[in-house]
Structure 1
């Protein structure tokens, strides 16, 4: 096991919903000396108990010992909880966590979509600070207790009483992290990227680089983005950077990556499409903005999910 990072003031960190994102960040934090507990499915937990968490990247393939559990009560001593469940499970998971969180424990929402922090906050109440985090990382689970990393791995988090310390400790652990006053705008920027690519990748089961090379796809992506930006403008969203450049960069920096929605469909799992293109459609309807291309993508992915269920 590598010991290339160390921390003089370790945090106690719970990772609730330890899939690919949570396992990757949990592995780096555990290796840096923080007390990390992954909370996930039984097969996953058993594999980690037997062998440690296998972290496979372009430069290393290592097993990292850390704690793992199937129980939400394992967050009882945590200073920070990384909420990594699917967006549709936010309220139910927050309710599971609530009896076990110590006062002042920070819940960081590392999820797709733009409203998970507000939804978690509504359940947890004022005793438990919640901060949204924007995640840029390409990861996948290759099997129980085995996470693969393909690219990137930085975070932007909203202000909270613990955010500055979290940013320092995470950055020291190899997770570049900044505290941002405009996480809402950054979350929306990521939502636009997800809406541009996720459904197309899911419906074709192809990676981003392949998609943008196909005739007609760049125009569809442009239509999706234009609708998202119209809804965002009507909703008062201020973007922190050039969204069009960000959308183009996804296919350039992660050409071999399939979307999380594509991975969900391939495994027969429910996707988060309701919180991606579906959210844009619903918010657009509330604001009087038409979103026919996003509605088409949302509907097609939902049809694929229902057809798979039989």
Structure 2
């Protein structure tokens, strides 16, 4: 299958590598340095099993999407509409689009721009880019696809490529669950520049994470979303299962790039205002990350 990755950062490059290894024709569309490294030396995939280099097509040009049968949309939430507008004029009428993004409303926002169905996908993968042309897998990799006429066949395609993929009965609830976990940890890791495990050693941090989670749960309930009963436990477990990892937001700030705070804690703050709910800790995290981001906003389309 002809598969394109729109916004090929760490997440897009990881799944692109797995699909290329399975024999699909994969095109990565991303930043200049990443594209140039892939064009020169291939895409390096590093996992616990070792390191391998895969030959994939890489481009900075949106026209590279024109022959794609399947598009994995991996752009940061801040750039959904901008990237979608670029894609709209070149996509085939029959191309299937999946949104592999953080946040809960990207698929709907992208569908409106493209005027076609976009399938939301919940992504559970710890990946990073040590450098251009190099993606490192730290753990996870599961995909949960929202219901659509093509989801079952795509689940099989991903499974055949060695991925753990399923169709989600309640993709909205799963997206919200991931949103809450991201709200609890991403900004804290970004502000402190600390990995999750180290943060738990800080007196009062556990209570703050639980407060953020409780605020998010109240907002979700007001929005008619049912979250898992064990969400608080799952949120705290991140400090153990991903102890050595810093959040993607922390990595964005370290590279002086705009992160996704407006679509994580910022989303909760906006929804809370609609429902007249106080979310002071989410609001504080939002304002602090805004302050850190000020002065080094990157205008390029950001990749996951």
Q: Partners of 1:88 and 1:242 in 2: how far apart?
A: 30
Within-5 A mapping of 1:183-262: 183-239=171-227, 242-262=230-250
Q: Deviations over 1:127-168 (max 9, x none)?
A: x32011111111111111011111110111111222111111
Q: Partners of 1:99 and 1:304 in 2: how far apart?
A: 36
- How far did residue 51 of structure 1 move? 1.1
Q: Deviations over 1:92-114 (max 9, x none)?
A: 11111111111232111111111
Could you tell me the TM-score, scaled by structure 2's length? 0.95
- How far did residue 239 of structure 1 move? 2.6
Q: Partners of 2:25 and 2:149 in 1: how far apart?
A: 20
Aligned match of 1:5? none
Q: 1:240 to 1:222 in 2, by over 3 A?
A: closer
Q: Partners of 1:196 and 1:45 in 2: how far apart?
A: 33
Aligned match of 2:265? 277
User: Which of 58, 71, 83 is the aligned partner of 2:61?
Assistant: 71
User: Which runs of 5 or more structure 1 residues have no equivalent in the other structure?
Assistant: 1-10
Q: Secondary structure at the match of 1:100?
A: coil
- How far did residue 68 of structure 1 move? 0.8
User: Which runs of 5 or more structure 2 residues have no equivalent in the other structure?
Assistant: 298-304
Q: Partners of 1:99 and 1:175 in 2: how far apart?
A: 31
Q: 1:217 to 1:112 in 2, by over 3 A?
A: same
Q: Does 1:114 align with 2:110?
A: no
Q: Partners of 1:93 and 1:278 in 2: how far apart?
A: 21
Q: Is the 8 A contact 1:105 1:129 kept in 2?
A: no
User: Which of 1, 11, 14 is the aligned partner of 1:24?
Assistant: 14
CA RMSD of aligned residues (A): 1.2
Q: Secondary structure at the match of 2:75?
A: coil
Within-5 A mapping of 1:171-182: 171-182=159-170
Q: Does 1:55 align with 2:45?
A: yes
User: Which of 86, 100, 125 is the aligned partner of 1:96?
Assistant: 86
Following superposition, which runs of at least 4 residues in structure 1 exceed 3 angstroms of deviation? none
Q: 1:240 to 1:163 in 2, by over 3 A?
A: farther
Q: Is the 8 A contact 1:29 1:173 kept in 2?
A: yes
Could you tell me the TM-score, scaled by structure 1's length? 0.93
Q: Secondary structure at the match of 2:138?
A: strand
The count of aligned residue pairs is: 297
Q: Partners of 1:76 and 1:93 in 2: how far apart?
A: 14
- How far did residue 248 of structure 1 move? 2.0
Aligned match of 1:14? 4
- How far did residue 240 of structure 1 move? 5.2
Q: Partners of 1:119 and 1:177 in 2: how far apart?
A: 24
